[in-house]
């Protein structure tokens, strides 16, 4: 009897253990971890993230080992064409039908905000690696979203303060007429005024316009020392090219690109871009770890990574570690864990706040003259740095309901 009781107890314990293991395993929904990249693969921001973000995502999965808790990791992707309605339809299908657990990339603020809201309703994770509006961790914050891109506040504080401090104290804005451009102008204006500068005027241009002549003429006539470009991607590239053709810099005014990617510099060429001051949370040549990863990326993609592509890699890596630590892909649990863990931002330690803002040091760079470059893609020289605690908007000032 005594042996039978012991045997029965042992069997019960084994069954209970198996049940617990089975229950924990079942928390990985659909027996896989599925991550979707909603990007701009064919439009004005295709070089910023686009197909390069897919390469970065696959590198993250490869480096993690291809599985988490014994379950395969799958990457899917789709082109939003920069349209929030298209992005919303894809996100709903992914979440409701195709069992996608998390989305990332998300260029354009309107796209990111729409998808974050859908992810919150569906209890899925959203990691914004491309869109830059600081509102994503303000009024639009969510318990299931994190913001990995350099945001409009950090870009403004870094670039505007440095330029005002070097004598560029009067500004005129050429602003892309949509929610991101408005946010960038707003945050930059506050930073300029806080640094002792002034904004003498602004003009708004259509998204993805080809002709900047009338807008540049107004900026030229303003006599402002600095023409601030509150735009991104092709708009920024075209504005800088046409400003060069107009002889604006030769005439004594300076350009400030508030959101500039290394892909923009590559498209412009150093003779046109030299002297431009930019802020970056990531530059491929910033340290040994970033160089090693970027060279692997280059071998697969033929270009050095942008900061948005690097952010995609880092976000997915953090997400997978959180899934592994919690044993689930349930969005709220995973996002709580993501915020508990330090972030490895290519050799720089970062963190994630309650409002979803990912914190890391920002660096100020100036585009080198061609004669100073030692090798291909050697475009930037460091001229300053901003610690993460100073670079990003204080959590209490953002208006995020999660921290009130």
User: Is 73 in the same domain as 144?
Assistant: yes
Rounded to whole angstroms, how far apart are CA atoms 74 and 66? 8
| Backbone phi and psi for residue 333, each to the nearest 5 degrees, phi listed first | -65, -45
Query: Has residue 94 been placed in a domain?
Result: yes
How far apart CA 102 and CA 130 sit, in angstroms, is 15
Alpha-carbon gap, residue 368 to 148, rounded angstroms? 27
Q: Are residues 80 and 132 in the same domain?
A: yes
In a domain? residue 115: yes
Q: Are 44 and 264 in contact (CB under 8 A)?
A: no
CA 129-258-77 angle, 5° bins:
25
- Taking the CA atoms of residue 21, residue 22, residue 27 and residue 29 in that order, the dihedral angle to the nearest 10 degrees is 140
Query: Torsions phi, psi of 72, nearest 5?
Result: -70, 150
Written as six digits, the tokens of 226 are 């600095």
Is residue 24 in some structural domain? no
Instruction: State whether 142 and 157 are in the same domain.
Output: no
Domain contains 390: no
How many domains does the chain contain in total? 2
Q: What is the pLDDT of residue 193?
A: 95
Measure CA of the first residue to CA of the last residue in the chain; give whole Å.
62
In this structure, the answer to whether residues 107 and 186 fall within a common structural domain is: no
How do beta strands 145-147 and 125-128 pair?
parallel
The closest alpha carbon to 53, from 23, 29, 79, belongs to 79
Q: DSSP string spanning 55-117?
A: HHHHHHHHHHTSEETTEEEEEEEEE-TT-HHHHHHHHHHHHHTS---EEEE--SHHHHHHHHH
Rounded distance, CA 176 to CA 189, Å?
15
Domain residues for the domain of 52 are 30-150+286-361
**Is 402 domain-assigned?**
no
Burial class (CB in 10 A: 0-12, 13-18, 19+), 134: buried
Token pair 């905000």: residue: 113
One domain, residues 36 and 143: yes
**Polymer length of the chain:** 404
The answer as to whether 401 is a domain residue is no
Please check whether residues 116 and 165 belong to one and the same domain.
no
Q: Is the domain of 210 the same as that of 357?
A: no
- Output the pLDDT for position 251: 92
Maximum CA pair distance of the chain? 100
Domain stop point among 258, 276, 309: 258
* Angstrom distance (rounded) from CA 202 to CA 221: 12
Q: Which of 306, 308, 286, 305 is nearest to 295 (CA)?
A: 305
- Domain of 293, CATH number, reads 3.40.50.2300
Please check whether residues 40 and 143 belong to one and the same domain.
yes
Domain co-membership, 161 together with 207: yes
Q: What is the mean pLDDT of each run of 10 residues along the chain (404 residues)?
A: 42 40 60 97 90 98 98 98 96 98 95 97 98 95 98 90 91 94 93 95 94 96 96 92 92 92 95 91 97 98 98 98 98 98 94 98 94 97 92 95 89
Report yes or no on 186 lying in a domain.
Answer: yes
- Between CA 191 and CA 193 the distance in angstroms is 6
Do 197 and 209 share a domain, yes or no? yes
Residues in Cβ contact with 281 at an 8 Å cutoff, skipping those fewer than 6 apart: 150, 154, 307, 311, 345, 360, 361, 362, 363
Is residue 173 classed exposed, middle or buried when 0-12, 13-18 and 19+ CB atoms within 10 A define those classes? buried
Residues 115, 38 share a domain: yes
Considering the domain boundaries, does residue 122 fall inside one?
yes
What pLDDT is attached to residue 11?
Answer: 41
Q: Same domain for 140 and 46?
A: yes
């Amino acid at each position: 009897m005594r042996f039978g009781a012991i045997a029965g107890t042992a069997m019960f314990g084994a069954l209970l253990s198996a049940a617990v293991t089975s229950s924990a395993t079942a928390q990985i929904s659909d027996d896989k971890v599925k991550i979707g990249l909603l990007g701009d693969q064919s439009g004005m921001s295709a070089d910023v993230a686009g197909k390069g973000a897919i390469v970065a995502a696959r590198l993250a999965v490869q480096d993690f080992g291809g599985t988490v808790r014994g379950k395969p990791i799958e990457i899917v992707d789709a082109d939003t064409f920069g349209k929030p309605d298209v992005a919303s339809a894809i996100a709903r299908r992914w979440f409701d039908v195709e069992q996608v657990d998390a989305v990332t990339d998300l260029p354009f603020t309107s796209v990111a905000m729409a998808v974050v809201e859908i992810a919150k309703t569906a209890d899925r994770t959203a990691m914004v690696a491309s869109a830059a509006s600081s509102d994503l961790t303000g009024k639009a914050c969510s318990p299931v979203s994190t913001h990995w891109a350099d945001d409009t506040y950090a870009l403004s504080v870094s670039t505007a303060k440095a330029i005002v401090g070097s004598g560029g104290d009067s500004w005129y804005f050429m602003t892309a007429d949509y929610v991101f451009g408005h946010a960038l102008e707003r945050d930059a204006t506050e930073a300029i005024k806080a640094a002792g500068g002034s904004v003498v005027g602004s003009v708004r241009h259509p998204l993805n316009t080809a002709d900047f002549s009338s807008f540049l003429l107004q900026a030229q006539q303003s006599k402002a020392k600095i023409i601030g470009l509150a735009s991104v991607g092709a708009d920024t590239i075209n504005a800088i090219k046409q400003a060069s053709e107009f002889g604006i810099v030769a005439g004594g005014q300076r350009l400030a690109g508030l959101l500039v990617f290394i892909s923009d510099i590559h498209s412009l060429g150093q003779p046109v871009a030299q002297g431009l001051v930019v802020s970056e949370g990531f530059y491929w040549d910033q340290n040994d770890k970033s160089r090693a990863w970027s060279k692997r990326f280059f071998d697969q993609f033929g270009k050095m990574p942008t900061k948005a592509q690097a952010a995609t890699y880092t976000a997915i890596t953090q997400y997978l570690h959180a899934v592994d630590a919690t044993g689930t892909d349930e969005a709220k649990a995973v996002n709580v864990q993501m915020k508990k863990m330090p972030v490895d931002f290519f050799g720089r330690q970062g963190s994630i706040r309650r409002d979803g803002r990912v914190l890391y040091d920002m660096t100020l760079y100036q585009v080198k003259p061609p004669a100073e470059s030692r090798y291909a893609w050697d475009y930037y020289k460091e001229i300053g740095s901003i610690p993460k605690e100073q670079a990003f908007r204080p959590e209490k000032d953002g208006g995020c309901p999660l921290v009130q």
